[in-house]
Amino acid sequence: MDKTTRSVSLSFLSIKNFLTVEVFRLDRIGSFLSPIILPVFFIVFWQVFAVRIDNSIVLPTVHEVLDILVKPTANLLSIGSLIRNVLVSILRVGLGYFAAVLIAIPLGLFIGYSKKVAEFIMPFVNLFRPIAPLAWVPLVLAWFGVTSIATIFQIERGSLYVLFNNIKVSMIFIIFIGAFFPILTNSIYGVKSVRKTLIDSILTLGANEKDVLLKVLLPAALPSVVTGLRIGLGVAWMCLVSAEMLPGSLAGVGYLITHAYTVARTDIVIAGMIAISFVGGLLDWIFQKIEAKFFKWQSMSK
Amino acid sequence: MDNIVEINGLSKIFVSEKKQAVQALRDVNLDIKDQEFVCLIGPSGSGKSTLLRLMEGLITPTTGTIKVMNKPLKGPIPEAAMVFQEYSLFPWRNIIDNVALGLELRKVPKNKRYEIAGKILERFGIEDFYSSFPHELSGGMKQRAAIARAIAISPQILYMDEPFGALDAFTRFKMQKGLISFWLEEKRTIVFVTHSVEEAVFLGTRVIAMSSRPGRIIGDYKIDLPYPRDRWNEEFGTYFKELMTLMNSGDIEKSMAF
Ligand SMILES: Nc1ncnc2c1ncn2[C@@H]1O[C@H](COP(=O)(O)OP(=O)(O)OP(=O)(O)O)[C@@H](O)[C@H]1O
Ligand SMILES: [Mg+2]
């Protein structure tokens, strides 16, 4: 290569460098902006339409909804504040979810571990999988009616009564059904996807069955179990509104939304929906952080 | 010297989930003496891994017997350890906890097992990676850690299934030298599986050649060369040629059988 071509190719290289750096910078701004573009458009359109329509029952304006959201502690429709209703909902979901976790994880690990157990239980479990949580409503009502946790624990007065009387067994059941299958399926998958070599490895090092379970199967299945927990919580949270439409419900975001609908307060309906989205997103985000922090090895060792 | 492993009339037939039978090994007879360095060579599918897993006690023979240290084998024994062909470190454990796992299972107290594992890591030149996780290590280092883990339980017999198969030539040479010096110093029995005739002649006191369909032993050579060995030595070349010829004829036989 002679001098000129070299310097030409060098300057070409530096242009290329410059371009990639610039493009990279644009890219960074882009990746920061791109998630917000659609929501901003959406809100703008919403506001434009709302002003056009000028009927807050069909579509309230953005600021009407914001007014409710910025005062989350204000009493709405005399059924308590937004915060209070969200908390009641979280408590309900928490209980149903907790019950699902307690049963689905051990069951899933067990099914994943033993082919015999799987052959015995899976056909039965699969009978129930296609039934949407909502389809259980009539049956659940026939069984539990408006029985609440307060009835079960025989709490008859006090602030605990107010709280627990709001938590009906039927709602917990619906939420339980929603969370159960994702957790079960992922726990089974977690155990089944453990590589045979890892089990052989620990056996050659002198492990007994308990060691295999505690030192290989459980830790190897854990990331998948946590994914199941995350998805299960998402589904449980989605089942909330349907659960809170059940009779006997006098609080909760789901109830707030349906009640606001019956009194034609669309602004509260939308505020409730936003609260549901926010809490659901937050829970999911927390789980994703946990997954990323503790299970880095999983994505990197494949 | 006593036989440490005695294999008689061994065969293994796998039955797949579709109920198809594969004969992985047929009529294998093999005695291994204490402190031998045996290399098993053979083409893919000749049952090398299967033979190793049988000797380790991870699977049971279809017919035949295996005695290790004069006792019929019933499962993995504390006197034997294995390095696997596939990547086998526990990804959620850091290196020291991987290497110390065998001792952990034997209920050795934590500081004691870290001390032992630490010494082995030093010997393998990976002491800087005590607290790293497997995914942070290069392929060569991972394999060193896997060998360190097997050695940490101080086995008399070490089974190694193509431990250097995935490494580049340079790293592989280094690991081969390290393994030879370990064997010379520690007086253990090693059964080492490889695809490479050259690696087998470089390492072993004895080379067992295998062929496929069904897997069987077709040759048993004593390599009478002093360590460290020189790949350019004339006798090395003679052994190499002889084995290559045998392996190739095995291949021809196989391709004619099609
Ligand atoms: N668990 C199993 N189930 C069914 N067949 C098997 C099983 N393990 C091995 N085989 C079969 O047995 C034969 C020998 O396999 P093996 O893994 O021992 O060969 P190998 O010599 O180690 O080959 P490679 O050099 O590729 O590792 C192959 O035909 C293989 O398909
Ligand atoms: Mg193999």
Query: Do A226 and A277 belong to one domain?
Result: yes
Query: Do A31 and A75 belong to one domain?
Result: no
Please name the residue whose Cα sits nearest to atom 18 of ligand 1: B47
- Please give the pLDDT value at position B250: 58
**The pTM is what?**
0.78
Query: Do A134 and A10 belong to one domain?
Result: no
- Please give the pLDDT value at position A1: 44
**Interior/surface letters B108-137, b for 16+ CB within 10 angstroms, e for the rest:** beeeebbebbeebbebbebeebbeebbebb
Among the partner-chain residues B87, B92, B135, the one whose CB lies closest to the CB of A219 is: B92
- Please give the pLDDT value at position A74: 77
Across the A:B interface, residue pairs with CB atoms under 8 Å apart total 63
Query: Do A160 and A19 belong to one domain?
Result: no
A244-253, B86-95, B105-114 — which is least confidently predicted? Answer: A244-253
pLDDT at B231 over 80: yes
CATH number of the domain that A161 lies in?
1.10.3720.10
Asked whether residue A16 is domain-assigned, the answer is: yes
Query: Do A14 and A144 belong to one domain?
Result: no
Task: Find the mean pLDDT for residues B142-150.
Answer: 92
Whether B78 has its CB under 8 Å from any CB of chain A: the answer is yes
Query: Do A39 and A146 belong to one domain?
Result: no
Asked whether residue A246 is domain-assigned, the answer is: yes
Q: Which two tokens stand for residue A237?
A: 């949270």
What is the chain A residue with the closest CA to B102? A205
Are the beta carbons of A219 and B153 separated by less than 8 Å? Answer: no
Max CA separation in chain A (angstroms): 96
Q: pLDDT band at residue B73, thresholds of 50, 70 and 90?
A: very high
Query: Do A119 and A40 belong to one domain?
Result: no
- Please give the pLDDT value at position A146: 75
Q: Does the CA dihedral A127-A129-A132-A136 come out positive or negative?
A: positive
Contact B153, B99 (CB under 8 A): no
On chain B, the residues whose CB falls within 8 A of the CB of A198 are: 88, 90
pLDDT at B257 over 50: no
What is the DSSP secondary structure assignment for residue A212, as one 8-state letter?
I
A58-62, B104-108, B190-194 — which is least confidently predicted? Answer: A58-62
pLDDT at A247 over 80: no
**At CA B208, angle to CA B207 and CA B214, rounded to 5?**
155
Task: Find the mean pLDDT for residues B48-56.
Answer: 95
pLDDT at A11 over 90: no
- Please give the pLDDT value at position B258: 44
| pLDDT tens per residue, range A65-103 | 888 888 887 787 778 888 888 888 898 899 999 999 999
In this structure, the dihedral spanned by the alpha carbons of residues A91, A95, A101 and A102, taken in order and rounded to 10 degrees, is: 140
pLDDT at B234 over 70: yes
- Please give the pLDDT value at position A299: 61
Query: Do A263 and A189 belong to one domain?
Result: yes
pLDDT at B245 over 60: yes
Neighbours of A64 (CB within 10 A): 17
Distance, in Å, from the CA atom of B92 to the CA atom of A202, rounded to the nearest integer, reads 14
Asked whether residue A235 is domain-assigned, the answer is: yes
Asked whether residue A131 is domain-assigned, the answer is: yes
Query: Residues of chain A with pLDDT > 90: what percent?
Result: 27
| pLDDT tens per residue, range B11-33 | 999 998 888 899 999 999 999 99
In this prediction the ipTM stands at 0.90
Distance, in Å, from the CA atom of A254 to the CA atom of A247, rounded to the nearest integer, reads 12
Query: Do A135 and A223 belong to one domain?
Result: yes
Q: Which two tokens stand for residue A234?
A: 């998402």
Q: Which two tokens stand for residue A210?
A: 């308990």
Mean model confidence pLDDT for chain B: 90
Query: Do A123 and A246 belong to one domain?
Result: yes
CA of B47 to the centre of ligand 1 (A): 6
Distance (Å) from the C-alpha of residue A268 to the closest C-alpha of chain B?
Answer: 47
Distance, in Å, from the CA atom of B14 to the CA atom of B111, rounded to the nearest integer, reads 43
Mean model confidence pLDDT for chain A: 84
Domain with A23 in it: 3-54
Query: Do A114 and A245 belong to one domain?
Result: yes
Neighbours of A63 (CB within 10 A): 11
Distance, in Å, from the CA atom of B91 to the CA atom of B256, rounded to the nearest integer, reads 44
Task: Find the mean pLDDT for residues B156-173.
Answer: 90
- Please give the pLDDT value at position A26: 63
SS (H, E, C) A213-250: HHHHHHHHHHHHHHHHHHHHHHHHHHHHHHHHCCCCCC
Q: pLDDT band at residue A12, thresholds of 50, 70 and 90?
A: low
For chain A, the domain total comes to 2
Asked whether residue A48 is domain-assigned, the answer is: yes
* Ligand 1 pocket, Cβ-based, cut-off 6 angstroms: B 14, 16, 22, 24, 42, 44-50, 85, 195, 215
Asked whether residue A95 is domain-assigned, the answer is: yes
pLDDT at A2 over 60: no
